Amino acid sequence: MRFVIVTGMSGAGKSTAIHMLEDSGYYCVDNLPLSLIEKFVELITIPENEISKAAIRLDVRGGQKSEDVTSVINTLKEKGFPVEILFMDASDKVLIKRYKESRRLHPLAQGERVEDGIKREREILAGVKKEADYVIDTSQLLTREFRIELDRIFVQNEDYISLMVTILSFGFKYGIPADADLVFDVRFLPNPFYIEDLKPLTGNDKPVQDYVKSFPECGQFVDKLEDMLKFLIPGYIQEGKYQLVIAIGCTGGQHRSVTIANELYDRMKDTGNYGIKIAHRDVKKAK
C-alpha cells in the first residue's frame, strides 16, 4: 500500500499533482477535511481493500494552525500507516504572478493582498514542509518536467532528487536573470558576433561551438567551473536547497554563453544525484 498526502502552497501545483497521480493509477481524493483523513486511511488500508495506491490533496483553511495539520500527519505515522508527504512549493514572486494571471483570490488572503495570504500560508505549513518526504519547487518547472519528476518518484520508484539545477544562458544587454543563484561572465572569450559567417548562428550550432572552443581559455574555464560546481552542489543539497540557477552570460546571450552552457550541461547531466536541465533565455532575441 502506498499513500501520499499532497500539500503545500496554493498555486504551486497541488491540483496538477493530484491529476497526474490519478492518471498514473492512484485513487485520489481532492481536499478531504482534516477530521476525515485518519478514517479514510483506515478504510483504504484494510486487508481486503483493492486499492494499492492512494493520494489526498490537503489544503489549508482559514483558522487552521500549523499544529492542526502536523498533528493529523503525526498521528497517522504513529499508528504505522504508510504515509508519504509531497510538498508543492514555488517562490512568492511566481505564486503572486500565477494568482494575478488567474485572477483568483488566495484562500487565506481574507480580503487582503495576495502577498498577505501567501505569508500566512507559509507560516501554517512551515512545520509540514520540514516533515515532507518530497519537496518539489515548480517555480522553474515546465508541466512535462513536473510530470517526469512525479513519474520517477511515484511510479518508477526511483530515488528522490531534492535539487533541480538549471543551467541558463543569457545576455547581459537584457539584464541578469532575477532568479539566478550563481552568475558567470564569459565575455572574456572572443565574440563570434563579429565574424560574418557566425553572426546569424547561435551557440547551438556547431560552427559557433567549434570557434568558441578553439580558444584554450574556454576549456580551462569550463574545467574550473565544473570542478567548483561539483564541490558546491552537495553542500546545497545538504542544506535543503531545491532550486539552483546557474546563469552563464555574454553580451547578447546567443553565442558564447549558449556554447558554454551547453558544454557544462553535457559534462554534468549524468554525474550527480540531482536533476539538471538547460535553458537559453535570450538565444532567439533579435541580433
pTM for the complete prediction?
Answer: 0.66
Structure confidence at residue 62 as a pLDDT band (50, 70, 90): low
What does 8-62 look like in DSSP terms, one character per residue?
A: E-TTSSHHHHHHHHHHTT-EEEES--HHHHHHHHHHHTSTT----EEEEE----T
> Which position has the higher pLDDT, 223 or 284?
223
Q: In the prediction, which pLDDT does 65 show? A: 65
Q: In the prediction, which pLDDT does 164 show? A: 83
Domain residue extents for the chain: 2-154, 164-280
Structure confidence at residue 287 as a pLDDT band (50, 70, 90): low
Structure confidence at residue 64 as a pLDDT band (50, 70, 90): low
> Which position has the higher pLDDT, 213 or 140?
213
Distance CA 18, CA 157 (A): 17
Fold that domain 2-154 belongs to in CATH: Rossmann fold (3.40.50)
Q: What is the mean pLDDT of residues 40-59?
A: 86
Distance CA 165, CA 259 (A): 18
With residues binned 3-state (H G I as helix, E B as strand, rest as coil), the percentages for the chain, rounded to 5, are 45, 20, 40
Q: In the prediction, which pLDDT does 158 show? A: 64
Is the pLDDT at 161 greater than 80? The verdict is: no
Is the pLDDT at 48 greater than 60? The verdict is: yes
Owner of C-alpha cell 492512484: 26
At 158 the three-state DSSP class reads coil
Q: Which of 1-15, 104-118, 175-189, 200-214 is predicted with the least confidence, judged by mean pLDDT? A: 104-118
Nearest to 246 by CA among 224, 283, 202, 277: 277
Say if CB 99 and CB 106 are below 8 A apart. yes
Distance CA 286, CA 264 (A): 25
